[in-house]
Chains A and B, each alone.
Chain A
Amino acid sequence: IAGITQAPTSQILAAGRRMTLRCTQDMRHNAMYWYRQDLGLGLRLIHYSNTAGTTGKGEVPDGYSVSRANTDDFPLTLASAVPSQTSVYFCASSDRLAGGDEQFFGPGTRLTVL
């Protein structure tokens, strides 16, 4: 593994189903993030984690949950998917939450909820 990986690459999901998007980084970064990107809108932060064992809510957290059991993994769960959650989801990581550390992004997961 080099950098950040996400799985699946794409998914079509029936409304009401539960779904977990996976994210793994091998850079030993402390901070990790989940964003969604919709056409015409900027990236919007869903949840973040400063370090293993801690998580925080971003701009659009409703309907999503995260966990950070270890440094490398940061899964995002949709407990009961709705069509408005159709989006491209990006996981990212940085060495620190604060400061000018660049965020490294995974390749994204394209999710369609029908």
Chain B
Amino acid sequence: GQNIDQPTEMTATEGAIVQINCTYQTSGFNGLFWYQQHAGEAPTFLSYNVLDGLEEKGRFSSFLSRSKGYSYLLLKELQMKDSASYLCAATDSNYQLIWGAGTKLIIKP
């Protein structure tokens, strides 16, 4: 079956670094997305990885290992506005997105 696993909730301190992990099992694989979703709002795109390695975009970086079925999202210099849910989604062989349940990130002062 197809499955995405990510932690349900994480807590971090303002100014710190946090890593949100995601493992996936899909029928075929055509890339992995990370989205951010603030409470009561729509998801918004953060990153897309199709090749192994690290993609850096400002304070956010995303890593992919295709052989391990593993990705992580790294958030640096955490700010209170980073409190949100972070959704991992893998693209299967039909280019449909299979979504994880999301990781709720709580930032404490």
A-side residues, CB < 8 A to B, are 40-45, 48, 58, 90, 97-100, 102-108
Contact = CB atoms under 8 A, between A and B. Distances in A.
A15 B103 CA distance: 32
A100 B50 contact: yes
B95 A102 contact: no
B74 interface: no
Contacts of A43: 43, 87, 89, 97, 99
From B41, B42, B97, B99, residue with most partner A Cβ within 10 Å: B42
A97 B33 contact: no
B45 A42 contact: no
A57 to B, nearest CB: 10
From B31, B41, B97, B100, residue with most partner A Cβ within 10 Å: B97
B13 interface: no
B4 interface: yes
B42 A108 contact: yes
Nearest to A96: B95
A44 B41 contact: no
A99 B42 CA distance: 22
Given A45-B96, A48-B96, A58-B96, A100 B42 contact: no
From A97, A100, A103, A105, residue with most partner B Cβ within 10 Å: A100
18 contacts: A41-B101, A42-B99, A42-B102, A43-B89, A43-B99, A45-B96, A58-B96, A98-B30, A98-B95, A99-B95, A100-B31, A100-B48, A100-B91, A102-B45, A103-B45, A105-B42, A108-B41, A108-B42
Contacts of B101: 40-42
Interface in B75-109: 87, 89, 91, 95-102
